[in-house]
């Protein structure tokens, strides 16, 4: 549930998006579905079997070894990605498919990968 201040800011965001896109947005009262409508999501929030495209991998600093390893594994801008499965009760690990390869990632690692939904 949004706080009163947070709700006001959120509804201003909805109004801004409607004006900027010259359309009615598909907001149904669920904050998460609205962010998905805006394609603002990281890999850990993606629903299983939903196709997406990698935008970036964020690191804690320029030499972050985890971000570097994710890039080496193929999590680079423009690559198709999807969640294949999750651990019990939505916990770790997350089984991710990038291209034709599957990786088991911790949820904290998946949160570093910014994506947008494939159209």
Q: What are the tens digits of pLDDT across the range 10-32?
A: 666 666 655 555 444 555 555 55
My answer on whether 18 and 48 are in the same domain is no
My answer on whether 22 and 69 are in the same domain is no
pTM of the prediction? 0.65
| pLDDT bucket at 109, cuts 50 / 70 / 90 | very high
Number of domains in the chain: 2
My answer on whether 52 and 106 are in the same domain is yes
The backbone torsions φ and ψ at residue 111, rounded to the nearest 5 degrees and listed phi first, read -70, -20
Tokens of 54: 């990698």
My answer on whether 25 and 69 are in the same domain is no
Q: Residue 70 is part of which domain span? A: 41-117
Does the pLDDT at position 107 exceed 80?
Answer: yes
My answer on whether 24 and 12 are in the same domain is yes
67 Cβ partners below 8 Å, 6+ apart? Answer: 57, 58, 59, 60, 112
CB atoms within 10 A of CB 38: 16
């Amino acid at each position: 549930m949004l706080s009163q201040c947070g709700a006001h800011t959120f509804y201003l965001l909805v109004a801004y998006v409607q004006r900027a896109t010259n359309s009615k947005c598909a907001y149904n009262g669920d904050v998460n579905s609205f962010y998905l409508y805006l394609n603002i999501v990281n890999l850990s929030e993606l629903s299983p079997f939903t196709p997406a495209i990698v935008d970036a991998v964020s690191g804690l600093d320029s030499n972050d070894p985890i971000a570097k390893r994710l890039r080496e594994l193929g999590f680079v801008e423009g690559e198709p990605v999807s969640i294949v499965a999750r651990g019990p009760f939505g916990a770790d690990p997350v089984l991710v498919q990038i291209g034709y390869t599957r990786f088991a990632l911790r949820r904290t690692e998946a949160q570093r990968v910014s994506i947008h939904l494939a159209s």
